[in-house]
Amino acid sequence: SQKIEQNSEALNIQEGKTATLTCNYTNYSPAYLQWYRQDPGRGPVFLLLIRENEKEKRKERLKVTFDTTLKQSLFHITASQPADSATYLCAPASGYALNFGKGTSLLVTP
């Protein structure tokens, strides 16, 4: 069955450092992959989408890579700030449905 794995343990980093979150998937070949941010008790908010023919995508301090051979996406936040503290969800997609990983909680401390 299809599986999406994100680090279940929370990631704690210091302000100003780069946070790197991992998303691995098995048993399917997504045509694209999305990343979302979710704050406690709120709905997820879209951040970035990367297609299977794109190796890397950037948006301001965010960078996403997509390795279809390794079946992995990495999500980087550079110059992290306390306001970046949230849970980040990845969603590899092929077809109509969009399934999400359980998310990785990021805590950025001053």
Partner 1 sequence: DSGVTQTPKHLITATGQRVTLRCSPRSGDLSVYWYQQSLDQGLQFLIQYYNGEERAKGNILERFSAQQFPDLHSELNLSSLELGDSALYFCASSPGQGRAGELFFGEGSRLTVL
Which two tokens mark 76? 């980087």
Q: Which is nearer to partner 1, 48 or 107 (CB)?
A: 48
Q: Distance between the two ends of the chain, CA-based, in angstroms?
A: 41
- Using CB under 8 A as the binding rule, whether residue 42 contacts partner 1 is answered as yes
- Using CB under 8 A as the binding rule, whether residue 34 contacts partner 1 is answered as yes
- Using CB under 8 A as the binding rule, whether residue 49 contacts partner 1 is answered as yes
Residue type, 26: T
- Using CB under 8 A as the binding rule, whether residue 40 contacts partner 1 is answered as no
E-only strand ranges, the chain = 3-6, 11-14, 19-26, 32-38, 45-51, 56-59, 62-67, 72-77, 86-93, 104-109
Distance (Å, whole) CA 11 – CA 21: 8
- Using CB under 8 A as the binding rule, whether residue 70 contacts partner 1 is answered as no
- Using CB under 8 A as the binding rule, whether residue 51 contacts partner 1 is answered as yes
- Using CB under 8 A as the binding rule, whether residue 59 contacts partner 1 is answered as no
Give residues in contact with partner 1 (CB under 8 A). Answer: 31-32, 34, 41-46, 49, 51, 89, 93, 95-103
